[in-house]
Homo-oligomer: A and B are copies of this chain.
Amino acid sequence: MQIAILAHEEFPGRAKTALGVLRYSDDEVVAVLDRDNAGQRVSDFVPDVQDAPIREGMADLAAEDVDALLIGIAPIGGGFEASWREDVRTALDYGCDVVSGLHYFLEEDEEFAALAAENDCEIRDVRKPPEDLTVSQGIADQVDAEIILTVGTDCSVGKMTVSMELARDAREAGHDAAVIPTGQTGIMIEGWGNPIDRVVSDFTAGAVEEMILEKGDEHDYLFVEGQGSIVHPAYSAVTCGILHGAMADKLVLCHDAGREVIHGYESFALPDLSTYVDLYENLAAPVADSEIVAGALNTSNLDDDAAAREAVDEYASDLGMPASDVIRFGSEDLLEVLL
């Protein structure tokens, strides 16, 4: 599939979804739309992802070159910016599908809904959970696949990235591995998945289990994208539901180098690493034997490779298990204990 990614005025620094899709999607990105950087290329900003030209808007692209437009940014609050309307309109006029992870559902926008119907294209609001979800049965561990879940010390520490990297590297090493996407970016990359943070709270574990049951007998390894943190004042419910719903065999503890307080909740200090290990394992134990066997450290805020190496070594030593920054130093050591 050939896709365009809308990321006006936010690329690349604040365009997490756009970057995730550029890095991991199998789709061909024909353009990133960013009116601030039109004329440049993705590779001018980010070296290690799929390259693509940056354009002013959908009107600069030929209809036959694009199958779908992805909204690759998410303003605080998840609203739809009026200045993006022209691009979505043009995409639908071209007969392109539109994929969005905004809280504002594009399929409920009257103009877009009418245009989509007229041009026979699909609007997919990936943040809208399917309506047939229900409670967990507690049977995710019955699938053939080994289940590996990323858990974190906080939000935004790299759980999605780690899951994607591990699955890709496992595949490259000849294993049959798939990702179970639980958030909007993961869902956009994989083209399917349940947005766990938007489901009815009673169905949190069930929404994860449903995906594992669907894919678990088709693969040897499932890498479940974790969310939040078990000690997060606001989001721990989602984390707990994923932990029990996934019934994982192995856990990878993800952390952001230097992070000392909960992001956005600065009065809450992160407990030490051994507390996280005990909490995740002890909380999982009555439901599944899930063991933390490796660590993933996000060192993107350290410029110096030597400092990053040192941080990773210290993290591994503190945990007493293999660790890496999977983007910077690869995932070999982790896969050795995971597969």
Contacts and interface: CB of A to CB of B under 8 A. Distances in A.
B197 A201 contact: yes
A198 B198 contact: no
A194 to B, nearest CB: 11
A317 interface: no
A275 B271 contact: no
Contacts of A135: 234-235
A35 to B, nearest CB: 31
Interface residues of A, number: 45
A271 B203 CA distance: 23
A236 B232 contact: no
Given A198-B201, A201-B238, A230 B283 contact: yes
A120 to B, nearest CB: 31
A138 to B, nearest CB: 3
A235 B200 CA distance: 11
Contacts of A196: 201
Interface in A254-270: 265, 267-270
Given A138-B268, A205-B236, A231-B286, 6 more contacts: A135-B234, A205-B234, A206-B234, A233-B245, A233-B287, A275-B282
